[in-house]
Chain A
Amino acid sequence: MMNFLHKYASLQNFYFLSLRLSRWLVLPFVFTLVYGLIGALWIAPQDYQQGESFRIMYVHVPSAWLSMFVYMNMIGAAVFTLIWRVKLSEIVLRACAPLGAIFTFLALVTGSIWGKPMWGTWWVWDARLTSELLLLFIYFGIIALFHAIEDRRMAAKACALLTLVGAVNIPIIHYSVQWWSTLHQGPTVSKIGAPSIHLDMLIPLIVMSIAFTLYFIIMCLARIRIGIREYDKNSNWVKNLVTSTLQKGHN
């Protein structure tokens, strides 16, 4: 098992593995995206209270879920970076951070758009939105730290530590903000977690979440490949790769 993992933690092997994986994932991604969008925009019935505007949920919920899922990945990469000093996990960490930030931002924007017809304003200090906002700042911090340290490997280790410090703090922030918002607003109007959600509404939601996750994986692998080329730029296999790609471009 360890030999298998060790083989694929080698940057070169992982590079070509990820290329094959990305190609296989494109079709499922397109399929789930289309299926999910059809389900979201057409098949799912109009909401009893909110009419058509609830449909933004099909982008908001997957985004919010992914903003947390990406952070979970970063925690895993951080652990491998700090304890076992695996180069690949350093690259994964750096690759995930901006993607996590984008999903968080998307969750905020769609949450705000969703809120406008419900609450009348573009922004409310709702528990979820506020937590997502703070998560966005945490992502910004990690990205900023990556850019602030010149040495790539030191930056990765520093960001790994920061990610873990964040991991401890995020649940605390989440529950603090929740507590705070109950003081200020009473129970929030929350469509998700409503006890009985119609299957026709639920299935597109799940499918969209899968589509978003596949998108994240494809994008993340692309960023990881860039990172691998940077880390190994002095090695022969990367030099060969670059020259052969240039030649193909010329032809």
Chain B
Amino acid sequence: MTLFPRTVNETTSRELRKTFRNPSEIFYPLIFFVLVLTMFPFAIPPVPGLFNSIASGILWTAALLAISLSLETLFKADYRSGALEVIHLSGADLVLVGVGKSLGHWIISGLPIALLAFPIGWALDLNFLTLWVLVLTLMLGSATMSLTGASISALTVGLRGGGFLLVMLTLPFFVPLLIFGSSAATNASLGIVPEAELYFLGGMFVLSLTVAPWATAHAIRIRLG
């Protein structure tokens, strides 16, 4: 992939390699995703068809929570081991490292969750258009989450209250993604092609791609000293 700068390639490969040597890390977000989904039928009134009608929203919410929680591990190991310091002092471009980390995180959490939404949605009787829109919006939205979330993750790395603090900070920023993502899927289930929502999600992705890596680099520098 000479499409990406070398630092991005190397950082992403490093993330993937170290995660695949500890595969349980890949499954935790997925399992959490399904676990959250499973809570809803117990919680909402057993009106026939109710769950299926709000399934898109529930799927999106569960995905949001699972990905937000998985952001905590992004910089934790490197911060604790001192690797983050070493990388910074070696003159590596932290902006590209941030992109690489985000891309790696997306491949490990956002992408699998987006793909898993397909069979789950099918089992919940969602129509074909809805399934595709669901997967697409989740892929796009989770990519944005990985990018923006990386900056907050770097900012809060190693702090007391870790995971909770991180989720508390990121959730308000993810609300627009949730709004447009689930609205897109809901419209798709009504047979409407959700152009506006997809454009917005695409726009948010591009914005985060251009702004978030710089915030991530700054966050790393701030937290290192």
Direct contact between the two chains A and B in their complex (CB within 8 A):
yes
Interface set of A (CB-CB < 8 Å, partner B): 82, 134, 137-138, 140-141, 144-145, 148-149, 154, 157-158, 161-162, 164-166, 168-169, 172-173, 176-177, 179-180, 183
Q: Which residue of A lies closest to B155 (CB)?
A: A158
Q: Which residues of B contact A173 (CB under 8 A)?
A: 172-173, 175-176
Minimum CB–CB distance from B140 to chain A (whole Å) comes to 15
B176-210 with Cβ < 8 A to chain A: 176, 179-180, 183, 200, 204, 207
Residue B102 at the chain A interface, CB threshold 8 Å: no
Shortest distance between the CB of A149 and any CB in chain B (Å): 7
* A107 to B180 Cα, complex, angstroms: 26
CB-based contact A176/B151 at 8 Å: no
Kindly state the separation between the CA atoms of A164 and B214 in the bound complex, as whole angstroms.
Answer: 12
Residues of A within 8 A of B176 (CB): 169, 172-173, 176-177
Q: Are A134 and B172 in contact (CB under 8 A)?
A: yes
Does B161 sit at the interface, judged by CB under 8 A?
Answer: yes
**B211 sits at the interface (CB 8 A):** yes
Q: How far is the CA of A158 from the CA of B225 in the complex (A)?
A: 11
How long is the Cα–Cα vector from A128 to B14 in the complex, in angstroms?
A: 44
In the complex, what's the smallest C-beta–C-beta distance from A81 to chain B, in angstroms? 10
In the bound complex, do residue A144 and residue B175 qualify as a contact, i.e. CB atoms below 8 Å apart?
Answer: no
Select the stretch in B41-49, B107-115, B215-223 that faces chain A.
B215-223
Knowing A157-B222, A165-B215, A180-B179, the reply to whether A145 touches B171 (Cβ < 8 A) is no
- The binding surface of chain A is classed by DSSP as helix
The contact size tier of chain B is 20 to 34
Query: Looking at A134, A158, A164, which has the most chain B CB atoms within 10 Å of its CB?
Result: A158
B69-87 interface with A by 8 A CB criterion? none
CB distance from A120 to the nearest CB of B (A): 23
What is the bound-complex CA distance between A145 and B162, given in angstroms? 10
Nearest CB in chain B: distance from A185 CB, A: 14
> What's the nearest-Cβ distance from chain A to residue B53, in Å?
15
Find chain B residues with CB under 8 A from A161 CB. 151, 155, 215, 218-219, 222
Once the chains are docked, how many angstroms separate the CA of A134 from the CA of B219? 23
- Determine if A162 and B223 form an interchain contact, defined as CB atoms under 8 angstroms apart: no
Cα A220 to Cα B86 in complex, Å, equals: 41
Nearest CB of A to B216, in Å: 10
Chain B residue numbers with a CB within 8 Å of A144 are: 161, 165, 168-169
Per the bound structure, the CA–CA distance linking A157 and B215 in Å amounts to 12
Q: Which residues of A contact B165 (CB under 8 A)?
A: 141, 144-145, 148
> Do A158 and B179 touch (CB < 8 A)?
no
Q: Give the chain B neighbours of A158 by CB distance below 8 A.
A: 155, 219, 222-223
